[in-house]
Chain A
Amino acid sequence: MSQSGAFLYDVPGPRGRRRIRIGSAVSALVLLGLFALALVQFGSRGQLDADRWTPFLDWPIWEYLLVGLRGTAQAAAIVAVLAGAFGVLLAIGRLSPSRPVRWLSTGYIEVARTLPVLLLIYLMLFGLPAYGINLPVLWKLVVPLTVANAAVVAEIVRAGVLSLPRGQTEAALSLGISRAQTMRFVVLPQALRHVTPSLVTQLVSLIKDTSLGYVVAFTELLYRAQVLSAYNRLLIQTFLVVALIYLVFNGALSYLAARLRTRLRRSVAPPSGDAEQAADRELELPRG
């Protein structure tokens, strides 16, 4: 991590080292100054008073938030499983030799990738009940998230399949294995291994998306934070604590993704062509 861009400069000499020290001191002062400014601003409104923070030392508040965290995990797990399965099927569909299947999958992926999840959630909440479709709260969150995430997973898996050398498929087919079996036993296992880091990154994005439970009133972390802050009137403190919880859990997953990525890079020979590298790059990046 710390080495990114290290090729941009030589090992600094004595003058360079002095300049780096000065730069470090100046930027540290500026950052500390900004931080101090924020603290002064918070302090002047009494937001730093001990009694506004000590409630978070009590177990009941944490218990209350942990129930929310369990809801987040539950929703994320269901979406991950459904979107994972659905996404793999869509990826296979988009790569299928049959034209109708290919078009349907492509159409679905392109549409679902460009619809805001919130729009789908509003449809679930306020649109579909008019037609007598009124799902339980959990599913009002899970269905829109699955619709959106399946498309992203499909694109990730497809990129993984395309990144494999053609020889893998050709060898399998020439051994007389059927297309379906080639996909299942030869292509997919390798492709999925290749894109595991990207899938973990997508899991982080998915966990973030479950915060939309706030909108559908599903008991997850952010919704609980909202209810809690309405009760204890400690808005800043509650939301900062909850943001920190998200940061810790998702940060751990992001770290795992980065670790997997470096390990994978070491074990897999780097792709040769420019186009492949570009595809790889696109595949690895988190998407908003």
Chain B
Amino acid sequence: MSALMENLDPLLTALRTTVLILVVSAVGSLVLGVLVTVARVSPIPVLRGAAFAYVQVFVNIPLLALLLLAVFALPDAGLIAPLTTTVIVVLTVYEAAYVAEAVRSGINTVASGQVEAARALGLRLSQTLRHVVVPQAVRAVVQPLGNVMIALLMNTALAATVGVVELTSAVNKVNLVEAQPIPIFTAAGLIYMALALAIGLAAGRIERKVAIHR
């Protein structure tokens, strides 16, 4: 326990970094993911194809490969940003593909009568999507989106491999100094579980709140 108490400051700073990465990428990937889904179901073949390719690329290439590419390789092409920013961008575009898959499966649950009714009322396709389809689609997939966000939380740990001092990295550093792996790693595990639990509970609450009862 003392090993943890003596290193509380760096660990808390690291936890803050983890939460920062988590929150920014979560918001970013939710917005980007919905946009990708809209492109995926649009009547414009080029956009559909691009959205399909986008999802395939990020669902099939390991996050670690993308991180290494962005952090170590792209600077060779003059594309360079602060480390944490780079990690956040990579996590956002990566997780957006999973958000897009989830929201798309939600769109398939919207009854076609909803769309027909919207059209009969004279709504254009963009209005139908914005006011009728997407709100219902997202409501139907709150729980799966929560799972994607939990996966995002676990993926923030990969930032450690490219040198961001977030929770996993800080815990590892503390252990290298203190050499008490069991309490230190257990504490880190408990924090991750608590964060995941918080996301899960939040998803459950939001789902109950926005669920459409028919």
Contacts and interface: CB of A to CB of B under 8 A. Distances in A.
Interface of A: 1-2, 4-5, 7-10, 12, 16, 20, 23-24, 27-28, 31, 41-42, 44-45, 47, 111, 113-119, 122-123, 126-128, 130-131, 204, 208-209, 211-212, 214-215, 222, 225-226, 229, 235-236, 238-240, 242-243, 246-247, 250-251, 254, 277-278, 281-282, 284-288
Interface of A, helix, strand, loop or mixed by DSSP: helix
Interface in B122-156: 125, 128-129, 133, 140-141, 143-144, 147-148, 150-156
A235 B64 contact: no
A4 B181 contact: no
Given A114-B193, A119-B185, A122-B168, 16 more contacts: A7-B112, A23-B44, A31-B50, A116-B155, A116-B158, A119-B157, A127-B182, A128-B181, A208-B62, A226-B68, A229-B73, A236-B73, A236-B77, A246-B62, A282-B147, A287-B98
Nearest to B150: A114
B181 A209 contact: no
Contacts of A212: 64
Interface residues of B, number: 80
Interface of B, helix, strand, loop or mixed by DSSP: helix
Given A41-B79, A250-B61, A240 B182 contact: no
A262 B128 CA distance: 28
B46 A28 contact: yes
Interface string B37-77: 00011111111101010001101111111101100111011
A5 B107 contact: yes
Contacts of B76: 45, 47, 235-236
Given A45-B76, A281-B109, A282-B143, A119 B43 contact: no
Nearest to A7: B112
A127 B108 CA distance: 47
Interface of B: 40-48, 50, 52, 56-57, 59-66, 68-69, 72-74, 76-79, 95, 98, 101-102, 104-109, 112, 115, 119, 125, 128-129, 133, 140-141, 143-144, 147-148, 150-158, 160-161, 168, 171-172, 175-176, 179, 181-182, 184-185, 188-189, 192-193, 196-197
Contact of A126 (B143, B148, B154, B175): B175
